[in-house]
Amino acid sequence: MDDIRKKLTGVFAPVVTPFRNDELMLDDLRYNLRKLADSDLTGYLALGSNGEFRSLSDLEQLHVLEVFAEEKAGKVVMAGTACETTRFTIEKTRKAAEMGFEFASILTPGYFARQMNDAALIGHYEAIADASPIPILLYNAPGFTGGVQLTPRAVIQLSRHANICGMKDSSPTGPDRYLTILDHATDFHILAGSANFFYASLHLGAVGGIISLANPLPAPCCDLFRLFTEQKFDEALDLHFRLSRLNAAVSGTHGVAGVKAAMNVMGFRGGEPRLPLIPLTDSERDKVREAIIAEGFNIW
């Protein structure tokens, strides 16, 4: 599985889905992907939380995946294929595999949060992994799933499945708890799901990150990873602090709408989120611009 480890190493952008007046803008998505292709990003995640996958119809999701497949340009492409049910998640994962996606990142179900115990989640993921033509990544994000959280016990068991290759963790504490208990003989790779704990996670054994700031600021995110691999820890820590503060001002305060505003500031075509998510006001967008400048990043 060395090849898988290599493919997962580095920084991924959970690419946003642009809208204008609630309409899906596939050309803007294409524009952004071509611009991101010039960066050192390892790859893209299509239809993640930042991709507002829950706000798209089934057909729209297909169209989004098609654009990614066409604009792959040598990057590693992952698709978010989670549905609330095992059955539909399998269907969507198979479709993504057919279209050329190399990994599926699968969020825990969340609607029936109280029922999502170890047995339910292990059964869910094992059935999907059995059926999937491509390796899958667990995706733990209690902030989007009513608090559902994969337990260390469940992760240990799932890590032994041959077709489950890793995990993205976006919980507030980061992936430390999982890294601690994983059997390092298993080929199971951890990706940090937030700029807040991306840098610390690297020190703890994560192979990379899928971080929303890589949408507007791919270069600094890749720089941080590079500084870590070069063991330039003082420079890395300084950059970590700058990115974390910016992340608090952008994603922490405004969620996807903030990421899109930052993209617009940086010359991408982020567009707007789909309602009920509300785009930033002009004054909020100005503050995002100021925060980017204040942390010393160049505006486009």
Residues marked active site are found at 168
User: ω before 276 within 30° of 0 (cis)?
Assistant: yes
113 C-beta neighbours (distance < 10 Å), count:
14
CB-wise, 19 or 101, nearer to a second copy? Answer: 19
Residue type, 146: G
* Cα distances (Å, whole numbers) of residue 194 to 27, 70, 95, 129: 27, 27, 28, 25
Q: Does 177 bind a second copy (CB under 8 A)?
A: yes
- Among the listed ranges 37-45, 239-247, 263-271, 292-300, the one in contact with a second copy (CB under 8 A) is 239-247
Within 13 A of 112's CA, how many CA atoms are on the CB side? 8
294 part of the interface to a second copy, by CB under 8 A: no
Closest CA to 251 of 241, 242, 262, 240: 262
Task: Assess 111 for contact with a second copy (CB under 8 A).
Answer: yes
| 162 belongs to the binding site for a second copy (CB under 8 A) | no
Q: Which of 74, 276, 283, 299 binds a second copy (CB under 8 A)?
A: 276
Is 57 an interacting residue with respect to a second copy (CB under 8 A)?
yes
Quote the least distance from Cβ 56 to a second copy, whole Å: 8
Distance CA 64, CA 51 (A): 9
Query: Could you tell me the CA-to-CA distances from 294 to 241, 242, 297 in Å, in that order?
Result: 12, 9, 8
Structure tokens at 207: 């192979």
What CA–CA distance (Å, rounded) separates 71 from 251?
26
Strands (E), the chain: 10-14, 19-20, 23-24, 43-46, 76-80, 103-107, 136-140, 164-169, 189-192, 208-210
Mark the segment that binds a second copy (CB under 8 A) among 26-34, 74-82, 85-93, 94-102: 85-93
Q: Which is nearer to a second copy, 76 or 288 (CB)?
A: 288
* CA pair distance 256, 279, nearest whole angstrom: 9
Among 121, 164, 221, 263, binds a second copy (CB under 8 A): 121
Residue 120 CB, nearest distance to a second copy (Å)?
5
Residues 129-148 that bind a second copy (CB under 8 A): 143-147
113 binds a second copy (CB under 8 A): yes
> Can residue 116 be called a binding residue for a second copy (CB under 8 A)?
yes
- Does 69 help bind a second copy (rule: CB under 8 A)? no
Closer residue to a second copy in complex, CB, 275/293: 275
Q: Select the residue interacting with a second copy from 67, 155, 256, 288 (CB under 8 A).
A: 256
Nearest distance from residue 74's CB to a second copy, in Å?
Answer: 32
Q: Which two tokens stand for residue 43?
A: 């790859």
Tokens of residue 42, six digits: 């390892």
Span interacting with a second copy, options 9-17, 113-121, 160-168, 216-224, rule CB under 8 A: 113-121
Beta-bridge partners for 204: none
150 part of the interface to a second copy, by CB under 8 A: no
List, in sequence order, every residue forming a beta bridge with 139; answer none if it has no partner.
107, 168
Cα(214)–Cα(202) distance, integer angstroms: 16
By the criterion CB under 8 A, which residues form the site for a second copy?
A: 22, 49, 54-55, 57-58, 84-88, 109-116, 119-121, 123-124, 127, 143-147, 172-174, 176-177, 179-181, 196-197, 199-200, 203-205, 233, 237, 240-241, 244-245, 248, 254-257, 274-278
